[in-house]
Amino acid sequence: MFAKLKAQPKDKIMALMQQYREDPRDGKIDLGVGVYKNAQGVTPVMRAVKAAEKVLWDLESTKSYTGLAGDPAFGRALSNLVLGDCVDADRLSMAAQPGGTGAIHQAVELIKMASPDATIWLSAPTWPNHPSIIKHLGMKMAEYRYFDNESRAVDFDGMMEDLKAIKAGDAVLLHGCCHNPTGANLTLPQWKEVAALIVDKGATPLIDIAYQGFGDGLEEDAAGVRLIAQTVPEAMIAASCSKNFGIYRERTGLLTCISDNAEQAGITQQNLTHLNRQNFSFPPDHGARLVTMILEDEGLKAEWMTELEDVRKGMLSLREALAGELRARTGSDRFGFIADHRGMFSRLGATPEQVEALRVDHGIYMVGDSRMNIAGLNEETVPLLAEAIVKVGV
């Protein structure tokens, strides 16, 4: 049987991580992996998470299963963080998932069940796992323009022009905030135009929100998602807790669906529960329980929000510092987009040859499309990166 299997292409980011580990140079810089790191290069356990774990250690009395869709308290807590009170609760259906990736996978499966001939529209570029999952599940996909490689900003005119081709029953995948891999994000007026177009075409938005709190703040980063949720009759929202709670290995995510009415929401819930049962039966609970504890306890939530804000401001400071170093070296503001972008990532706009030169000549590792993880920097490495960028001719 196994002799008929075909070799799979290597994951480019995983391969880059391996190259970095094997590089013997002391001054090497890892800007490739999509994980938050502090100035010491560590992905820390957040203080509120550690405190919640200590409480859970004493209070947890069983390791039995939760419900097929996860603990309802987790769904309520996380959906409230994302949506606030902008949608009536009886229109919501929720299922805990193994991370944001699991939520995206399940959303595509739900689309396949509800609208098997749908085309799923993706931003160009997008997170590589988006098209990989869609292809794996045998669904059609198409791209809409999103990023202008010259200005390193959103190509909104191109985006809207391309989205005019969507049809009723299609799905449009949108990044809720902190676009991965570009760092360029829609403004609230632009979100409003996108929402109106989706409603006019009869399509359904699928929003991937993996970095809430990393951009302009918890509420600000959710503003576009909430505007969509208030405007459209149906939507899917895949939320991840990996980044803003720092619980990457706990695989904690949630798929929330908004239906047109309460009766339909009940049917949607049945289908989400069914998909969980087919895929893994019961979702993981440890991370979900920690998130619930933090969001339901005023003290823990305040501690978490304080640390998350420190993380956000730290990344903004690194962005501003890098843009400033490049301004000083080039005598121009052509790298000002780095300070304008939000979240962990920015697409630098370097050619593959320049990215390779950064790695070979300077020990600086970033993804081949020149996506760089701002959180991989610190005060000492910012000027080193700026100097290298200029030297390779970006």
Task: Just list the catalytic residues.
Answer: 127, 208, 210, 243
Cα 369–chain centre separation: 18
Q: Which residue has the tokens 């400033």?
A: 324
**Three-state SS for 267?**
helix
Q: Which residue has the tokens 């999509």?
A: 34
Q: Which residue has the tokens 């309802």?
A: 72
CA atoms within 13 A on the CB side of 351: 6
| Opening angle at CA 251, ends 249 and 254, nearest 5 | 155
Phi-psi label, residue 370: left if phi above 0, alpha if psi -120 to 50, beta otherwise: left
Q: Please confirm whether the linkage preceding 9 is cis (ω < 30° from 0).
A: no
CA dihedral 272, 269, 176, 131 (to 10 degrees): 30
* DSSP codes, 134-174: HHHTT-EEEEEE-EETTTTEE-HHHHHHHHTT--TT-EEEE
| Structure-block tokens of residue 285 | 């609970």
**Three-state SS for 117?**
coil
Cα–Cα distances (Å) from 303 to 40, 275, 316, 394, in that order, read 21, 35, 20, 41
Tell me the C-alpha distance between 348 and 85, whole Å: 37
| Structure-block tokens of residue 125 | 């570029």
Tell me the C-alpha distance between 183 and 33, whole Å: 15
